[in-house]
Amino acid sequence: MLFVFGAPFRLSDREQPAVLSSTHGSFTAGVFDTFTMSQSTGPTSGIQVDLSPLGAYIIGGTPMQELSNRILNMEDLSGREVRDLAERLGSLERWDERFQLIETFFLDRVRQHSGVTPEVLWAWKQMVAANGNVSVALITDELQWSRKRLRAAFLREVGFPPKTMGRLLRYRYAMDLATGYPHVGWSEIASRAGYSDQSHLHRDLLAFTGTRLVALRSELAEGTFVQDGQIIDS
């Protein structure tokens, strides 16, 4: 979730950035297995809240498959309370009041929500602990669920089928390794992360970010977010 208090962001589709673009104020995004490009339209400020897929399901009150690879304005969400939160945050001037409001809202949502399916929560924890390197067949056998039932539950509460989420978790772990061990080669990174070889890591990197391995090292070193950049004293 991104609560914007200034100029909105312009978000573009990966395939046709000049054609398929939209401008958003406060918005929420689901789990992506691809990427979009964002551009600021002017001076702005805001609060970004990163949630796990299950956390987003609880807070947003929306079936997660409806958010997969999608970005929605807050007013388009099914939960009226989330839309009201964006408006209330925008009316406040002090940051401490904004943070307090968000914290109170999220805690209330957790208390009110009936929670996630216990079997989905267990399966998700197994996948996270293994950085995606866990067999879906082992999970279904342990739960005594069919693959179809697990897939449907994951689509509703996580956003993508277990296999796709496994790919995303494994890729995220590979990027954590690449950031933490900048002098380790890509073949070693791929092996440690659970890929069969470097080419499979490159395939996921290209699909998820549009970036190639040869260019990624410099991007990781430079930082891809404002908060990762260097402070310049004037």
Structure tokens at 32: 């992506």
Among candidate residues 112, 146, 180, the one where a domain is terminated: 112
Do 130 and 208 sit in the same domain of this protein? yes
Torsional sign, CA 162, 60, 11, 179: negative
- C-alpha dist (Å) from residue 90 to 85, 95, 222: 9, 11, 32
Give the per-residue pLDDT at 62: 84
Do 30 and 76 sit in the same domain of this protein? yes
Do 105 and 130 sit in the same domain of this protein? no
Do 74 and 163 sit in the same domain of this protein? no
Give the per-residue pLDDT at 224: 55
In a domain, 228, yes or no: no
Give the per-residue pLDDT at 28: 87
Do 58 and 147 sit in the same domain of this protein? no
Do 177 and 123 sit in the same domain of this protein? yes
For the stretch 186-192, contacts whose Cβ atoms lie closer than 8 Å and that sit 24 or more positions apart, written own/partner, are 186/213
pTM: 0.85
Do 131 and 56 sit in the same domain of this protein? no
Do 133 and 107 sit in the same domain of this protein? no
Using alpha carbons, select from 67, 83, 78, 70 the residue that is nearest to residue 25. 83
Among candidate residues 78, 112, 146, the one where a domain is terminated: 112
User: For the chain, which ranges sit under pLDDT 70?
Assistant: 14-21, 77-79, 221-234
In a domain, 177, yes or no: yes
In a domain, 174, yes or no: yes
Do 141 and 167 sit in the same domain of this protein? yes
Give the per-residue pLDDT at 231: 46
Which residues contact residue 63 at a Cβ distance below 8 angstroms, ignoring those fewer than 6 apart?
57, 155, 156, 157
Do 45 and 92 sit in the same domain of this protein? yes
In a domain, 145, yes or no: yes
Q: Which domain holds residue 108?
A: 2-112
- How many domains does the structure of the chain reveal? 2
Do 32 and 78 sit in the same domain of this protein? yes
In a domain, 156, yes or no: yes
